[in-house]
Amino acid sequence: KMVVSAGYLMSTPCVSGLIRMKKAFGGIILTASHNPGGKDEDFGVKYNGANGGPAVSIVTDKIFELSKKIEKYKITKEVPDFSNDKVGSYKFGTMDIEVVDAVQGYADMMKRIFDFDKIKKFVSREDFSMVYDSMHGVAGPFAKKIFGEELGMDSKVCLNSEPKEDFGGGHPDPNLTYAHDLVETMGLGEKKSETVPEFGAAADGDADRNMILGKKFFVTPSDSLAIIVDKAQECIPYFKDGLKGCARSMPTSGAVDFVAKEKKIKLHEVPTGWKYFGNLMDANELSICGEESFGTGSDHIREKDGVWAVLAWLSILANANAEDGKKLVGVEDVVKAHWAKYGRNYYTRYDYEGCTKEAGNTLFDTMRKKIAEKDYKALEKYSQFKLKNGDEFEYSDPVDQSVAKKQGIRLVMEDGSRVIFRLSGTGSVGATVRMYIEQYSKDKLDSVPAEALKPLIDFALEWSDLKKITGKEGPTVIT
């Protein structure tokens, strides 16, 4: 039996939920994710397992081995006779085909998690306004259904909501560089808008990632995760009995660590990759998790979920504004109240895209050698930092006992500040070197991040010799 969505388009979180609801063996996703599709761009075939999450390494390794033994394949000349825009059941030979309304199914799932009546009352306030930028990805139909039909907001809330195979010529990556329409609308661009919405969010191409903005205010993904974990039990009915645990990817800032410690919630640190979260969820060890790369989600599915994150924030704002007649508590107010309680993790990520794989490998081999030889001479001129340890992150999965090696170079200072390097080869061309810089402060809460982090950035570039080895004078994207 094959299950497809009316119109064929589904978001990645929707696919995950549908696999779980139908108790399917798995799901095949044809996706360009946040890269344009087509023969000249980055298009992929992805397999999710029966739990709804990305297939684990044991499965993908086996698929790869079997793929090398394929001798022939057959393609049918017949075309199934069914309407792909009409819900119903059809036959194709011995195969059953079920066409479902995936958008409605996803909306129903969200209504079981969140208090839609409470959110609807909040978003109807005259002093509240928002925009949601689908960036011409598959989030559009889901946004119009939930924010428009279910929550009663004006259609103008949904920007770039028509899915396009080339994403309208844009690059649907929800960050400050590529989500330029939203950035300008929210008053963070070069153009100064007279009217700026109170809340803004963006999705990537397959709608599993999110960016959260307030009026002229950017919320880092790491802070967003920490705030959702802090407020979940209080604001989201699905978590009314508390959290089983929380987790972050290793490069994500330690902001959520302080929340977990205060609330006595078990914390997990895993490599980058949602499958590691999925294993913990399947073992009943995890409720909410996130990555610094704009991915946030919970155990309702086994993928990150961009619309879920937006509804989580709307729930938090609705709760903060529960008293009628009071001045609006906005996104910036919520974030600054969080910093006042837990301190602030200043954080930035530099992406050096389009590096040659040879340069990337040379860079990391050089850093591994320096760690092995304890060569940290570059740190001598930065007396404010004392090295606690340098290593390469390795993760032993407590659920399936698999070991993930070479998951990132880490330099950790005694005050908790961190310098991290990761090499990613998932782009359409070459490799991407990612450098993460983090510094914690309990009381200095209003510094400009670029200024607060400059000494660590300068040290990281000098110690790694990144510019010389990669030939890159500066990052492609700064988050």
> What are the catalytic residues?
33
- The three-state secondary structure class of 279 is helix
Beta-strand relationship, 130-133 and 199-203: parallel
CA 246 to chain centre: 15
Separation CA 295–CA 306 (nearest Å)? 7
Q: Could you give the count of Cα atoms lying within 13 Å of 338 in the half-sphere of its Cβ? A: 26
Separation CA 443–CA 339 (nearest Å)? 9
Separation CA 64–CA 195 (nearest Å)? 53
Separation CA 347–CA 350 (nearest Å)? 10
Query: How would you classify residue 354: left for phi > 0, otherwise alpha for psi between -120 and 50, otherwise beta?
Result: left
Kindly list the distances between the CA atom of residue 318 and the CA atoms of 142, 155, 256, 315, 387, in Å, as whole numbers in the listed order.
21, 21, 22, 5, 43
Q: Which long-range contacts (CB under 8 A, 24 or more apart) does 470-475 make?
A: 470/352, 470/355, 470/359, 470/360, 470/363, 470/433, 471/359, 472/352, 472/355, 472/433, 475/350, 475/351, 475/352, 475/435
Separation CA 247–CA 298 (nearest Å)? 10
Residues 425 and 268: beta-carbon distance below 8 Å: no
244 C-beta neighbours (distance < 10 Å), count: 17
117 C-beta neighbours (distance < 10 Å), count: 11
Torsions phi, psi of 18, nearest 5? -70, -40
Separation CA 476–CA 432 (nearest Å)? 10
Separation CA 291–CA 460 (nearest Å)? 22
Separation CA 151–CA 184 (nearest Å)? 25
Torsions phi, psi of 336, nearest 5? -70, -30
DSSP track, 402-435: -EE----EEEEETTS-EEEEEEE--SSSSEEEEE
> Which class for 3: exposed (0-12), middle (13-18), buried (19 or more C-beta within 10 A)?
middle
CA 292 to chain centre: 7
